[in-house]
Amino acid sequence: MLHGSYVGTSRPKGVFVTFEGVEGSGKTTQIALLEAALKQAGIGVVSFREPGGTPAGEQIRSVLLSPEADVTPRAELLLFLAARAQLVEKAIAPALASSVWVLCDRYADSTLAYQGYARGFPLDWLRTLNGFATQNLAPDVTILLDLDPVMGLKRSSSRDRMEAEDEDFHRRVRHGFLDLASQEPERFAVIDASLPVHLVHHHVLDVLKSRVGVQLPNRSALPAEAHPF
């Protein structure tokens, strides 16, 4: 949970939706589908990924995910936070201030799940650090695509540094996400990511209709730029 309120000049006016889940849960595909549906409905939207989304963030991403990088857990945490701070200030907050929707592939909850539940850093401490990095900017809705980590890893043809962690690590990540969702049911929506892609997309649209009040067309066909998972 992110405590406090946005410390910028004012709370951004756009809708902020984050997607979370274990590796291979289909976040990239579902974001592409939702972005296409929003554009079809004439709604302004931008999407970002974590770590990344800015030139500095993409450079940090290349270090964090490189299988050859010898990054300690503490350095890993700080690098994720640095990329997130840059993304919020340079990209997410300005976009929301322009009243567009922002879709983000991972956000502060990933730090709690990966560096907290899986790595063992204290959650309260991580929440404080997250609040500093994000200026307490919390998502309006968080879609948790829940999936057995073994199934998710089978969907990946390659292994980055995070994906290369052992099965127990990824199970702790999944447990962390589900625990976070149970603590904030008003923000989180948990969707079974083992369902066919078009059914997951349909559930995402239902969540946004009930949580945000927006009716979107059901884009059951994958956009050309989307990949299966």
Q: Domains in the chain, start-ordered, CATH in brackets?
A: 20-48+95-211 (3.40.50.300)
Looking at residue 226, its pLDDT comes to 46
Predicted pLDDT of residue 159: 80
Residues in the chain: 229
173-186 burial, b at 16+ Cβ within 10 Å, e below that, comes to: bbebbbebbeeeee
pLDDT along the chain (229 residues), means of 10: 49 87 96 96 97 97 92 97 98 96 98 98 98 98 97 82 93 98 98 97 97 80 45
pTM: 0.90
| Under 8 Å between Cβ of 142 and 20 | yes
User: For position 197, what pLDDT does the model report?
Assistant: 97
What is the DSSP-derived secondary structure letter of residue 226? Answer: -
Indicate the helix (H) or strand (E) that contains 163: none
